[in-house]
Amino acid sequence: MLLPALLIPTLACADSSLHEHEIIKLFAFKSRLDDGSYRNTLQLRYYHPFQANDVHQTTLRLDAGFYTNDGHSLPEFSLTDLHLDSVKFTFSAKGAHLSENWQSTFGFRTILPIGSSNQLVLAPQIGAVYKPDHGTRSIFSDFSPLIRYLQGVDPKDNSAKRRRHVELYPTLGFQLGSKTRLRLWDEYGIEYNTRNGRWLIPIDAMLIQQLTEHQHVAIGFSKALAKSNEQYDWTLYGNLTFYF
């Protein structure tokens, strides 16, 4: 059994924001799927920043991992049952400075046609970050909405199975203490399937605790509240983050 305390499937996430340092995140997920089965996922995320100056700032993110499917509520990993998860590259960049408190962002995600993805997926994205004025006495730290459109490309299959999804993340951040943060809709957001008009609307919350200057630990939970787009019932997840 591997990582018994940290547990899920890798769906989309908004965590593609700009970073000033190299970052490695080790994720573990456990999800209950709609058919009653469970999926256990181990994932690596690597962030590499490129910054020419304060105006031009970009981040390249790589996602890769493995998963297993089983019928047990507790995580059980076996090397013989491991499957390659989807491999994603996400490019995020700082856009126009909209006001003193608003900064726009834009980017692009590519999901390779290997592992759990049977088609190449191209996904442009736009977003923004709002931060209150410095010195404001509030636990509210930021509002970072992001919208992404995913379009599947498969030269061998021109059918309606090609992916057409919209992802919306109304991400909210709160500074609960000097070393504790809360993020809402950061890992799991709202999904809309433009082919069949089906929705997935979850509640998603992640608590982040700073261990040292260069290490953070987080645990989160997502529950599908309204869903005509069948994907998962609930997901428990955690990660360990290293800053370099």
**pLDDT (0 to 100) of residue 4:** 34
What pLDDT does residue 5 have? 31
Cβ atoms of 179 and 169 within 8 Å: the answer is no
- Residues 66 and 64: their CA atoms lie apart, in Å, by 7
DSSP string, the chain: ---TT--------------SS-EEEEEEEEEEETTS-EEEEEEEEEEEEEESSSS-EEEEEEEEEEEEEES-SS----GGG-EE---EEEEEEEEEE-SSSEEEEEEEEEE-SSTT--SEEEEEEEEEEE-PPTT--SSEEEEEEEEEEEEEE-TT--STTS-EEEEEEEEEEEE-SSSEEEEESSSS-EEEETTTTEEEEEEEEEEEEEEETTEEEEEEEEEEEEESS-SEEEEEEEEEEEE-
Mean pLDDT over 132-137 rounds to 81
Whether 175 has a pLDDT exceeding 70, the answer reads yes
Q: Is the pLDDT of residue 159 over 70?
A: no
- Terminal CA-CA length for the chain: 30
Q: What is the pLDDT of residue 10?
A: 37
- From the number of C-beta atoms within 10 Å of its C-beta (0-12, 13-18, 19+), residue 35 rates as exposed
**Whole-structure pTM value:** 0.86
Higher pLDDT, 233 or 90: 90
Per-residue model confidence (pLDDT) at position 69? 86
Question: d(Cα 164, Cα 181) in Å, to the nearest integer?
Answer: 33
- Which residue ranges make up each domain of the chain? 23-243
Cα–Cα–Cα angle for 191, 192, 198, rounded to 5 degrees:
120
Instruction: Tell me the pLDDT tens digit for each residue of 51-79.
Output: 766 666 899 999 999 999 876 655 555 66
Architecture of the structural domain at 23-243: Beta Barrel (2.40)
Instruction: Please say if the pLDDT value at position 153 is more than 70.
Output: yes
Q: How confident is the model at residue 102 (pLDDT cuts 50, 70, 90)?
A: very high
Cβ atoms of residues 14 and 146 within 8 Å: yes
**Considering the chain, what is the average pLDDT of its residues?**
85
In this predicted structure, what is the pLDDT of residue 109? 97
